[in-house]
Amino acid sequence: MRVIAVEEHMATEAFLGVAHGLDVVPGDETEIGLMRTVETAPAFRARLVDLDARLKEMDALGQDMAVLSLNPPGVQPYPAADAVPLAREFNDALAAIVRRHPGRFSGLATVAPQDPVAAAAEIERAMGPLGLNGIMINSHTGGRYLDEPEFAPLLAAAEAHRAPIYLHPRAPSMLDAYRDYGMPGAIWGFQAEAGLHAMRLILSGTLDRYPELTVVLGHLGEGIPYWLRRIDNRHAFAARTAGAATPMPRLSLTPSEYFRRNFVITTSGIDDPDVLGLALSAVGADKIMFAIDFPYEDPAAAVAFLREVPLTDDQRTALGHRTAERVFAIT
């Protein structure tokens, strides 16, 4: 069976050397301080930057391909003036890595949502001349979310250039982010940051404006597939009863219909047959991709899970490679 893993983080020594010397925007100091500590640890740093060792590990496990992405939180904690050129430099390096290893690595570009116009231009460059396969955004940027109007150029470019957005978690923003679209309570307010971001895209009507957008969520959907029935039910109730204090944009579809239409999920970090069974029932095998979440999870355990979990041959093929090939245009 062909095996493609799609949430596989890396960095370059050049990127880390520059990024670790940059100032950080207010509010992100704690998160970036932790990540710099992790990235400085010799063993962990080697896992990020040594791609020859990674290829040997992939060969030993029978993993055919990794879709590489910059270690989170990418360039988003830095001022735009620093983040924009740093993203371009990293994407150039990533594209060169992919070209050196055809059939073994694909890549998700990084962009700087701090400057949505520059991010849109970088999406066009990544999906065009660089030949990359999508983009990764590490949830909020300075406490701002992609449903907000300022990010329209970024979303329009992602849709126009058929760039899937892998919406990766990062440390949560403040509570204010949960106040819009009726989300403080049971609809989704108790859930985690990446789920919050996905729900903002759904409940804001953003996916009516960008109906061809593809969003990828790791960790088997950040909890959303298992709440879909309740989300639909509570959204319908809130839409009927909401007053001026709780604006609820009118949607063309139910929340679950947007989720099944616009979202694809990955197995990253959840090697649990029962949870996978729930995901298969909720969205189907053609909406699920295999991922390891390298270097944060055990690649051997993840690949063994994919090979051994009770699935039909068609389901295993879809998870192992077919869905990733379709979503990320991997040939």
Q: Respond yes or no: is residue 293 known to be catalytic.
A: yes
Please give the Cα distance from 194 to 141 (Å, whole number): 12
Please give the Cα distance from 319 to 2 (Å, whole number): 10
Residues 6+ apart with CB under 8 A from 234: 186, 187
Q: Which of 28, 147, 180, 293 is catalytic?
A: 293
Please give the Cα distance from 324 to 329 (Å, whole number): 8
Nearest of 28, 79, 5 to residue 294 by alpha carbon: 5
**165, 122 contact by CB (below 8 A):** no
How many CB atoms within 10 Å of residue 174?
A: 9
Q: For 238, what's the count of Cα atoms within 13 Å in the CB-facing half-sphere?
A: 26
E-strand stretches of the chain: 4-10, 65-70, 105-107, 109-110, 135-137, 165-167, 215-217, 263-266, 288-289
Q: How far apart are the first and last CA of the chain?
A: 16
Can you read off the two tokens belonging to residue 315? 């389901």
Residues noted as catalytic:
293
